[in-house]
Amino acid sequence: MNDPNWDDFEYEFKLHLGEIVLASSVLPVLRRVYSLPEIREASAQSSLPRLSATSAGYLLSNIPQACAAHSCRREDGWLVYCLKSYSRSYIDMSGDFDVYQAKFSSKTRSGIKRKVKKFGQQAGGLDFRSYRTPAEVETFFELARPVSAASYQERLLDCGLPTDADFHRRSAAAAAQDNVRAFLLFAKGAPVSYLYCPIRDGIIEYAYLGFVPEFAKLSPGTVLQWLAMQQLFSEQRFSAFDFTEGDSEHKRFFGTHQVPCSLQLILRPTLKNRALLLAHRSIEKVSLSIVRLLDRFGLKKRLKQWIRRIS
């Protein structure tokens, strides 16, 4: 398979109830990850390359098409399953920071500035640091790892800062090419929030963000993102800040644009694959019903906070 747009990938197909993973199965697939320029142009490739005998199917990540979440259909002999549908957020960085700020209402801008000021007052001063050279990025990892270990992003969502040697080697190589930006926010001399961003083709990517739960009331993620954007805009180097796959309140809040996207599996119609999709769809329906019930009684937010504290 010679198409550089596709790669062999071991996809961990998780069955989860809300944020709790119940079980998982690894599927060997051919993966296609759509880039931000393709997403902005809404251009989706339709032809699929030939599969090896051991491959379960295809994974289309960030495909610029909306789909009904957890819907499954037969198409040309394949099982096409919509894992999730979301709005892909990004920040257009063609202007300067003043242009970016203008996207927010005056009330919202004042609210952000109050959060920044309050954090500085409670943290013994506003201590914000950036890292970009190989040596600096290594220092960033040393300081950020304890924060990641304590964050709910790692403990509950399994998306903390990677610790494997290969990731560190790739980060060092990218930093040597000036293709990494990393940021830390400190409180009284200790790091409490981190943001790690690789750079590809003039686009800076939102890869890893986390914070110490004890500081959640001071909105460290929001404060760090705001300060980082000020610095990134000042470089006048980047065409966009890409929030990558998935949707969240944080991404929608800071993004200037949203594009409908989805994550889709295209699988061989085997008995195992049918069973996996049926189990996933059934559990997701139960999860959605529970979420709706919690929303009705105003308990969703409090339950999520409690799970994050005890995890």
More confidently predicted of 43 and 275? 275
CATH code for position 108: 3.40.630.30
Task: Give a yes or no: residue 209 inside a domain.
Answer: yes
- Is 262's pLDDT higher than 60? yes
Q: Establish if 247 belongs to a structural domain.
A: no
Q: Is the pLDDT of residue 156 over 50?
A: no
Question: Is residue 253 assigned to a domain?
Answer: no
Same domain, 136 and 218: yes
Q: Which pLDDT belongs to residue 303?
A: 53
- 144 with 189, same domain: the answer is yes
Percent helix, strand, coil in the chain, to 5, is 40, 30, 30
Q: What is the percent of the chain with per-residue pLDDT over 70, rounded to a whole number?
A: 89
Q: Backbone phi, then psi, for 104, in 5-degree steps?
A: -90, 145
| Distance from C-alpha of 251 to C-alpha of 112, rounded to nearest angstrom | 15
pLDDT > 80? residue 296: no
pLDDT digits 0-9 by tens, 65-117:
889 988 999 999 999 999 999 999 999 999 999 999 999 999 999 999 999 99
Least confidently predicted of 27-31, 96-100, 155-159, 280-284? 155-159
Judge whether 249 lies within some domain. no
Is the domain of 209 the same as that of 99? yes
Q: For the purposes of burial, counting CB atoms within 10 Å of the CB of 113, is it exposed (0-12), middle (13-18) or buried (19 or more)? A: exposed
Residue 157: the pLDDT is: 44
* DSSP annotation of 50: P
Q: Which residues contact 134 (CB under 8 A, 6 or more apart)?
A: 172, 175, 176
**Per-position DSSP letters for 199-212, written without gaps between them:** EETTEEE--EEEE-
**Tell me, what's the pLDDT at 310?**
43
Q: Which of 238, 270, 286 is the last residue of a domain?
A: 238
Examine the domain organization and report whether 195 and 270 are in the same domain: no
Residues 104 and 234 in one domain: yes
Same domain, 274 and 224: no
* pLDDT at 5 (0 to 100): 87
**Does 109 share its domain with 76?**
no
> Which of 192, 210, 17, 225 has the alpha carbon at shortest distance from 112?
225
**d(Cα 138, Cα 141) in Å, to the nearest integer?**
5
In terms of domains, do 170 and 203 share one? yes
Q: Which amino acid is at 119?
A: F
Residue 165: per-residue pLDDT: 93
Predicted confidence at residue 134, as pLDDT, reads 97
- pLDDT confidence of residue 22: 80
Encode pLDDT of 4-60 as tens digits: 889 999 999 988 776 677 888 999 999 999 999 999 887 766 688 999 999 999 999
248, part of any domain: no
Looking at residue 304, what is its pLDDT? 56
Domain match, 119 and 231 both: yes
What pLDDT shows up at residue 311? 45
Domain boundary among 205, 238, 271: 238
- pLDDT of 133 reads 98
pLDDT at 148 over 80: yes
Does 125 map to a domain?
yes
- Whether residues 118 and 99 share a domain: the answer is yes
Asked, for residue 252, whether it belongs to a domain, the answer is no
What is the total count of domains within the chain?
Answer: 2
Question: Is residue 282's pLDDT more than 60?
Answer: yes
Asked whether residue 126 carries a pLDDT value surpassing 80, the answer given is yes
pLDDT score at 155: 45
pLDDT of residue 17: 73
pLDDT at 61 over 80: yes
pLDDT at position 154? 45
Q: What is the pTM (predicted TM-score) of this model?
A: 0.82
- Digit-coded pLDDT (tens) for 234-255: 999 999 999 998 888 999 999 9
Domain that holds residue 163: 95-238
Within this chain, do residues 192 and 66 fall inside the same structural domain, yes or no? no
Of 238, 272, 302, the one marking the end of a domain is: 238
Residue 258: the pLDDT is: 93
pLDDT at 201 over 70: yes
Mean pLDDT of the chain: 89
| CB contact at 8 A, 311 and 151 | no
Specify if 251 maps to a domain: no
Residue 240's SS3 state is: strand
Same domain, 169 and 220: yes
Q: Over 60: is that where the pLDDT of 229 sits?
A: yes
